[in-house]
Amino acid sequence: MEYIQSPGRMEYLTGKKPEGCIFCKDHGRDEDLVLYEGTHCYVIMNKYPYNSGHLLIPPFRHVSSIQEMSMDEKIEMLNLVDLCVEIMKRTMNPDGFNIGLNMGKSAGAGVADHLHLHIVPRWPGDTNFATVLGDIRVIPEGVKETRNMLLPFFANNKED
Protein backbone atom coordinates (compact mmCIF):
# COMPACT_ATOMS: atom_id res chain seq x y z
CA MET A 1 0.00 0.00 0.00
CA GLU A 2 1.26 3.48 -0.84
CA TYR A 3 0.78 6.48 1.40
CA ILE A 4 0.30 10.08 0.36
CA GLN A 5 1.49 12.82 2.66
CA SER A 6 0.39 16.42 2.59
CA PRO A 7 3.00 18.30 4.63
CA GLY A 8 1.60 21.29 6.44
CA ARG A 9 -2.06 20.37 5.99
CA MET A 10 -2.51 19.17 9.57
CA GLU A 11 -0.86 22.37 10.80
CA TYR A 12 -3.47 24.34 8.86
CA LEU A 13 -6.38 22.21 10.09
CA THR A 14 -5.47 22.07 13.78
CA GLY A 15 -3.08 24.95 14.27
CA LYS A 16 -3.81 28.21 16.01
CA LYS A 17 -5.04 30.79 13.54
CA PRO A 18 -3.08 34.05 13.61
CA GLU A 19 -4.69 37.07 15.17
CA GLY A 20 -5.18 39.98 12.84
CA CYS A 21 -5.09 39.93 9.08
CA ILE A 22 -2.64 37.53 7.42
CA PHE A 23 -2.22 39.98 4.52
CA CYS A 24 -1.54 43.15 6.52
CA LYS A 25 2.16 43.86 6.94
CA ASP A 26 1.94 44.79 10.62
CA HIS A 27 -0.61 42.15 11.70
CA GLY A 28 0.57 38.65 10.87
CA ARG A 29 1.84 38.51 7.29
CA ASP A 30 4.43 35.74 6.82
CA GLU A 31 7.40 37.75 5.54
CA ASP A 32 9.24 34.56 4.51
CA LEU A 33 6.61 33.96 1.81
CA VAL A 34 6.72 37.45 0.24
CA LEU A 35 8.28 37.41 -3.23
CA TYR A 36 7.84 41.01 -4.36
CA GLU A 37 6.60 44.34 -3.04
CA GLY A 38 5.29 47.01 -5.38
CA THR A 39 3.95 50.43 -4.48
CA HIS A 40 0.34 49.40 -3.82
CA CYS A 41 0.30 45.59 -3.92
CA TYR A 42 2.64 42.68 -3.32
CA VAL A 43 3.16 39.04 -4.31
CA ILE A 44 3.15 36.28 -1.69
CA MET A 45 3.22 32.49 -1.84
CA ASN A 46 0.01 30.82 -0.73
CA LYS A 47 1.00 28.98 2.44
CA TYR A 48 -1.65 26.31 1.74
CA PRO A 49 -1.62 26.11 -2.08
CA TYR A 50 -4.02 24.45 -4.49
CA ASN A 51 -0.99 23.63 -6.64
CA SER A 52 2.77 24.24 -6.66
CA GLY A 53 3.48 27.90 -7.37
CA HIS A 54 0.09 29.19 -6.15
CA LEU A 55 0.65 32.93 -5.70
CA LEU A 56 -1.50 35.65 -4.14
CA ILE A 57 -1.55 39.38 -4.90
CA PRO A 58 -3.16 41.47 -2.14
CA PRO A 59 -3.14 45.25 -2.00
CA PHE A 60 -1.29 46.70 0.99
CA ARG A 61 -4.47 48.50 2.05
CA HIS A 62 -7.00 46.42 3.96
CA VAL A 63 -9.94 46.41 1.52
CA SER A 64 -12.55 43.72 0.97
CA SER A 65 -13.80 44.49 -2.54
CA ILE A 66 -12.47 45.59 -5.89
CA GLN A 67 -14.73 48.66 -5.70
CA GLU A 68 -12.75 49.89 -2.68
CA MET A 69 -9.45 49.75 -4.59
CA SER A 70 -7.96 52.84 -6.20
CA MET A 71 -7.24 52.80 -9.93
CA ASP A 72 -3.51 52.73 -9.13
CA GLU A 73 -4.01 49.61 -6.97
CA LYS A 74 -6.02 47.90 -9.72
CA ILE A 75 -3.46 48.72 -12.41
CA GLU A 76 -0.55 47.51 -10.28
CA MET A 77 -2.41 44.31 -9.37
CA LEU A 78 -2.88 43.45 -13.06
CA ASN A 79 0.72 44.40 -13.86
CA LEU A 80 1.83 42.01 -11.10
CA VAL A 81 -0.36 39.26 -12.62
CA ASP A 82 1.57 39.77 -15.86
CA LEU A 83 4.91 39.61 -14.01
CA CYS A 84 3.93 36.47 -12.08
CA VAL A 85 2.71 34.67 -15.19
CA GLU A 86 5.88 35.55 -17.10
CA ILE A 87 8.17 34.39 -14.28
CA MET A 88 6.28 31.13 -13.78
CA LYS A 89 6.28 30.43 -17.53
CA ARG A 90 10.09 30.78 -17.52
CA THR A 91 10.73 28.85 -14.31
CA MET A 92 7.95 26.28 -13.93
CA ASN A 93 6.70 25.76 -17.50
CA PRO A 94 2.97 25.42 -16.69
CA ASP A 95 0.50 24.60 -19.45
CA GLY A 96 -2.03 27.19 -18.21
CA PHE A 97 -3.18 29.31 -15.28
CA ASN A 98 -6.26 29.90 -13.13
CA ILE A 99 -6.37 33.60 -12.22
CA GLY A 100 -9.13 35.17 -10.15
CA LEU A 101 -10.63 36.95 -7.16
CA ASN A 102 -13.02 35.49 -4.59
CA MET A 103 -15.00 38.42 -3.16
CA GLY A 104 -16.93 37.43 -0.05
CA LYS A 105 -17.16 34.23 1.97
CA SER A 106 -19.96 32.82 -0.22
CA ALA A 107 -17.67 33.20 -3.25
CA GLY A 108 -15.02 31.05 -1.57
CA ALA A 109 -12.83 33.74 -0.03
CA GLY A 110 -10.89 32.18 2.84
CA VAL A 111 -9.92 35.67 4.00
CA ALA A 112 -12.98 37.68 3.02
CA ASP A 113 -12.02 40.99 4.62
CA HIS A 114 -8.74 41.52 2.69
CA LEU A 115 -9.11 41.15 -1.07
CA HIS A 116 -6.43 39.11 -2.84
CA LEU A 117 -5.99 37.76 -6.34
CA HIS A 118 -5.02 34.11 -6.92
CA ILE A 119 -2.66 32.90 -9.64
CA VAL A 120 -2.51 29.10 -9.87
CA PRO A 121 -0.24 27.47 -12.46
CA ARG A 122 -1.73 24.35 -14.06
CA TRP A 123 -0.33 21.29 -15.82
CA PRO A 124 -2.12 18.44 -17.61
CA GLY A 125 -3.10 15.82 -15.04
CA ASP A 126 -2.40 17.95 -11.96
CA THR A 127 -5.82 17.08 -10.53
CA ASN A 128 -5.76 13.47 -9.45
CA PHE A 129 -7.77 10.83 -7.65
CA ALA A 130 -6.86 12.11 -4.19
CA THR A 131 -8.71 15.40 -4.73
CA VAL A 132 -11.73 13.62 -6.16
CA LEU A 133 -11.95 10.78 -3.62
CA GLY A 134 -10.42 12.05 -0.43
CA ASP A 135 -10.65 15.84 -0.35
CA ILE A 136 -6.84 15.82 -0.36
CA ARG A 137 -4.45 17.84 -2.49
CA VAL A 138 -1.14 16.35 -3.46
CA ILE A 139 1.34 19.17 -3.92
CA PRO A 140 4.53 17.94 -5.58
CA GLU A 141 6.80 20.58 -4.05
CA GLY A 142 6.96 22.39 -0.72
CA VAL A 143 5.99 26.07 -0.56
CA LYS A 144 9.45 27.13 0.67
CA GLU A 145 11.19 25.20 -2.14
CA THR A 146 8.97 26.87 -4.74
CA ARG A 147 9.57 30.25 -3.10
CA ASN A 148 13.34 29.78 -3.18
CA MET A 149 13.17 28.93 -6.88
CA LEU A 150 10.96 31.94 -7.80
CA LEU A 151 12.45 34.61 -5.51
CA PRO A 152 15.56 35.43 -7.60
CA PHE A 153 13.37 36.13 -10.63
CA PHE A 154 11.18 38.54 -8.68
CA ALA A 155 14.29 40.20 -7.22
CA ASN A 156 15.48 40.93 -10.77
CA ASN A 157 12.27 42.90 -11.37
CA LYS A 158 12.36 45.18 -8.31
CA GLU A 159 11.78 48.84 -9.01
CA ASP A 160 14.30 51.13 -7.35
Please give the positions annotated as active site: 116
User: What is the Cα–Cα distance from 84 to 97, expressed in whole angstroms?
Assistant: 11
Is residue 144 a contact partner of residue 75, using CB atoms and an 8 Å limit?
no
Is residue 88 a contact partner of residue 94, using CB atoms and an 8 Å limit?
yes
Strands (E), the chain: 34-37, 42-45, 55-57, 96-101, 117-122
Query: What angle in degrees, to the nearest 10, is found between the helix axes of 71-92 and 143-155?
Result: 110
Is residue 84 a contact partner of residue 119, using CB atoms and an 8 Å limit?
yes
What is the CA 96 to chain-centroid distance, rounded?
Answer: 16
Strands (E), 24-73: 34-37, 42-45, 55-57
